[in-house]
Each structure stands twice: as structure tokens, then as C-alpha cells.
């Protein structure tokens, strides 16, 4: 599987937070059509059916980290509540490596419980 570009990761992370293509476009200073193209490329790269599936795959593969989503959420709560609803201008960096995930052949297999392991 090909990896996502930094821009594709930024777009996918903002989509994961719930922003529309127009909001993401305003944040990144591009048109909504450009965001739509980036998301189409993300879907193709990840083999995703739609936005939600791409987000799930992105989180599972480490292209989106929960810490990035937390930074966006924190930036969103720091803005005033009166006025137009604009997305925060959070700085997005390259995804951090995912630790604590199993590697190898059994990575997709759920962990066994102690009773299963003893049997």
C-alpha cells in the first residue's frame, strides 16, 4: 500500500474531525474542489469506500493519530463562541509513529484472553 502525502494526511485529519470540504479548503487556502480531489486520492490509496471508512483506515494504519485530533479539538475550544463558525487554524505536522500496536502476521488478529491462551 502506498503511503499518503503530508497534504493528504492533513486533509484526512481535518475530515476526521468533521470539517466539510469547504472548511478544510478555507483552512488550507485552497478550493473545496482541491480538497475533494485530495480526498478521492486518499480513498484510492487507502482502498476506502467513503470518508468514514478512510478515517477508520487512517487511524488503524497510523496516518491519523489521536494526538493530532486532540490538538485540533483543543484549538477548536480555544476560539470564541460568538461569530461565524470557522475551523481553527491548527498546525498539522507529519503523523507521529504509532506505538503499542502489534506487528507481524497476527497484527490484525485480536489479542487472546488468558483463558484462550491457556487452552
- Burial readout 80-118 (b: 16 or more C-beta within 10 A, e: otherwise): eeeeeeebbebebeebeeeeeeeeeeeeeeeeeeeeeee
Q: What are the tens digits of pLDDT across the range 6-59?
A: 999 999 999 998 999 999 999 999 999 999 999 999 999 999 999 999 999 999
What CATH number is given for 1-77 in this structure? 1.10.10.10
pLDDT class for 79, splitting at 50, 70, 90? low
Give one DSSP letter per residue of 58-118, joined into a string. Answer: HHHHTSS-HHHHHHHHHHHHTS-SSS------PPP-SPPPP-S---SGGGGSPPPPHHHHH
Q: What are the tens digits of pLDDT across the range 94-107?
A: 445 444 444 444 44
pLDDT class for 82, splitting at 50, 70, 90? very low
Q: What is the pTM of this model?
A: 0.63
Amino acid at each position: 500500500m502506498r503511503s499518503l502525502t503530508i497534504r493528504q494526511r492533513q486533509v484526512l485529519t481535518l475530515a476526521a474531525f468533521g470539517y466539510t470540504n469547504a472548511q478544510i479548503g478555507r483552512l488550507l487556502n485552497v478550493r473545496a474542489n482541491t480538497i475533494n480531489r485530495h480526498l478521492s486520492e486518499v480513498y484510492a490509496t487507502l482502498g476506502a469506500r467513503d470518508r468514514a471508512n478512510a478515517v477508520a483506515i487512517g487511524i488503524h494504519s497510523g496516518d491519523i493519530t489521536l494526538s493530532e485530533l486532540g490538538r485540533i479539538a483543543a484549538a477548536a475550544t480555544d476560539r470564541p463562541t460568538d461569530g461565524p463558525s470557522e475551523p481553527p487554524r491548527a498546525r498539522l505536522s507529519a503523523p507521529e509513529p504509532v506505538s503499542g500496536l502489534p506487528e507481524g502476521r497476527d497484527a490484525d488478529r485480536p489479542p487472546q484472553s488468558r483463558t484462550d491462551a491457556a487452552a
